[in-house]
Copies of this chain bind each other. A is one copy, B any other.
Amino acid sequence: MKVGIIGFGRIGKVHAESLIRYASGIEVKAIADPFISEESKLWAKANGVKEVYSDYEKILADKEIDIVLICCPTDQHFIVSKKAILSGKHVFCEKPVSHSVEEILEIKKLLEKHNVLYQVGFNRRFDKNFATLKEKVASGMIGDLHILKITSRDPAPPPISYVKVSGGMFLDMTIHDFDMVRFVSGEEVEEVFVFGGVMVDEEIGKAGDIDTAIISLKLKSGALAVIDNSREAAYGYDQRVEAFGSKGQIIAKNELENTTVIATKAGILSRTPKYFFLERYMQAYTEEIKQFVESIKSKSCTVCGVDDGLKPVLIGLAAKKSLKENRPVKIAEIEKEYGIKS
């Protein structure tokens, strides 16, 4: 099988390396990026990538290419996804598919008519820690799920210019956590309530966004979940999950920079969590591409399809409304707005 990668920034390159190293029988044939760096061009040459385009349409037009990875900026995910599906390619699309529910619904409709696979890049599902946690919950090891707690804090806020186009913290950052709630619980979210605020940087507030929040969620079964978010944790990238049930609890803790522990009069000092998201989730990025390729080989569903791309956006919109109107908001209310049958 031959692959084309659309958008060759940091994450495009990560996926390219995963494909070359781990997926046998796969050839990365072409890359398209209007702003590709000289270094990336050299990398492409050294790794046997035949074509480097600036126009991604050339990838879509290449009949030899079966698979397309969409790694360009978020605002182009929709249009490229659409064209790629119409060209008959299997698609891996970075999250989120779109901030617009209508656009995701359009992709969904297209996929019903075209026999191609579509995977959304919620990489954390493939993290060995969270995947193990989910598996244990699903196996009944902690009994019925009662409370799910997610701590998700970035090491530093993004630039204000990015905040302005990000769709807001819930659709940009918490969307991963909404996905994690669905992934771990195996359930849909029914209702959301948010307390939030601007505590990290006033500029984020001026840009109309928040940077800190406690998001409570009620799941279909009645189980409860809570997410706490901050745009800035001084000690690094804080990514933990606790699932509590009738028979016990399972926690996925942070991965630390290294295992050293220093004991002095001042106390016992261990290292902070891995700071950079690529370092933290590299294993997950590799795993998600591998599973995507295996889905295509075995002609089965992808593990994270278009519906998994849609649901977290609906929860995010409910969270936005809850914050604005200071009341709990049902997902059904958002679905109704968009004419979605739940």
Does the CB pair A199–B222 fall under 8 Å?
Answer: yes
Whether A267 pairs with B263 at a CB distance below 8 angstroms is: no
Interchain CB contact (< 8 A) of A199 among B17, B223, B235: B223
Asked if A226 contacts B228 (CB within 8 A), the reply is: yes
Tell me which residues across on chain B come within 8 A of A129, comparing CB atoms.
Answer: 258-260
Interface string of A257-272 (1 = CB under 8 A from B): 1111111111111111
Which parts of A209-268 form the interface with B (CB within 8 Å)? Answer: 212-214, 216-218, 222-226, 228, 230, 232-235, 238, 244, 246-268
Could you tell me the distance between the alpha carbons of A247 and B226 in the complex, rounded to whole angstroms?
A: 23
Please tell me if the beta carbons of B246 and A264 are within 8 angstroms of each other in the complex.
no
CA distance A240 to B242 in the complex (A): 13
Of the A-B pairs whose beta carbons lie under 8 Å apart in the complex, a sample of 24, sorted by A's number, is: A17-B21, A129-B260, A146-B200, A146-B230, A195-B216, A199-B223, A216-B216, A234-B265, A235-B265, A235-B267, A249-B263, A251-B260, A251-B261, A251-B262, A252-B258, A252-B261, A253-B261, A256-B268, A262-B267, A266-B269, A267-B269, A268-B271, A268-B272, A326-B328
Q: Could you say which residues of chain B place their CB within 8 Å of the CB of A250?
A: 260-263
Given the complex, which residues of B lie within 8 Å of A296, measured CB to CB? Answer: none
The answer to whether A58 has its CB under 8 Å from any CB of chain B is no
Q: Which of A60-68, A75-83, A90-98, A136-144 contacts B (4 or more CB under 8 A)?
A: A136-144
Interface positions of A (Cβ within 8 A of B): 17, 21, 46, 48, 128-129, 132-133, 136, 141-144, 146-147, 149, 151, 153, 191, 193, 195-197, 199-200, 212-214, 216-218, 222-226, 228, 230, 232-235, 238, 244, 246-272, 326-328
